[in-house]
Amino acid sequence: MTLVLLEKADGKATITLNRPEAMNALSHDLRTAFYEACQDIKADRDIRVVIVTGAGDRAFTAGLDLKELGSSGLGAATDQKPASNPCRALENLDIPVIGAINGVAITGGFELALACDILIASSNARFADTHARVGVIPGWGLSQKLSRYIGVSRACELSFTGQFLDADTACNWGLVNRVYAPKELMPAARAMATDMATIDPEFLKTYKKLILDGYDRNFKEAMALEKQVTDAYNDSVSAEEVERRRLGVIERGRTLKG
């Protein structure tokens, strides 16, 4: 079985974790295949947006393969090499990454979801941080990212209980943007990706980097970074180009309204 499926079409790539019989658990071989898919995308200048999802409707991914982890040691839980850490492999991509969460995203799977730039979910989706239940401290970012996304109190509740968070509550808490019926999830993800793919790809890369780099800084430093990037980038944009694109925005608005 091919552990990771990679599809490309019209500037979009879809990575599908493909171990549905094992709830798409992140075995060593799957993580290697995931890295290779990310490297393929990184080398393909035609790809502007990535969608990450899981096969089937039960699991996005249940996280690291605990059977494999039990026999090989805990090194994988803190490994930072992109070739074996799927979160780092995703973070190395400079184009937008949409996580289409089709089922449970547990522990390392929750961390992989948080490595995406945008999350949308099926009504089947559920999120859980079971690190405390397993007795392993997270090493792929969950302990720091989750509180930044949903607040310290809510993050502590999830992490200290190991309880599941349903899709609708995740949406209400701001973890995911939208919730869809299972059959509507991938069409919605592709529609969003198609919309993003119409934006100038170099602009998207610059904007993504600015947002993420700024998020890592305090507000004052982030504002200074914005000015620095803005001054450098906007100097190369002509007034004629801005006007052309402004008219395009107006026309797009009319089309969408109609």
CB 42 within 8 A of CB 93: yes
Q: What is the mean pLDDT of residues 153-160?
A: 97
Q: What is the mean pLDDT of residues 130-157?
A: 93
Q: Percent of the chain having pLDDT more than 90?
A: 78
Is the pLDDT at 244 greater than 80, yes or no?
Answer: no
**Confidence bin at 245 (pLDDT 50/70/90):** low
Is the pLDDT at 248 greater than 90, yes or no?
Answer: no
Per-residue pLDDT of 35-77, as tens digits, reads 999 999 999 999 999 999 999 999 999 998 877 665 555 556 5
Find where tokens 């039960």 sit.
Answer: 58
**Confidence bin at 79 (pLDDT 50/70/90):** confident
CB 6 within 8 A of CB 15: yes
User: What's the token pair of residue 96?
Assistant: 């937008």
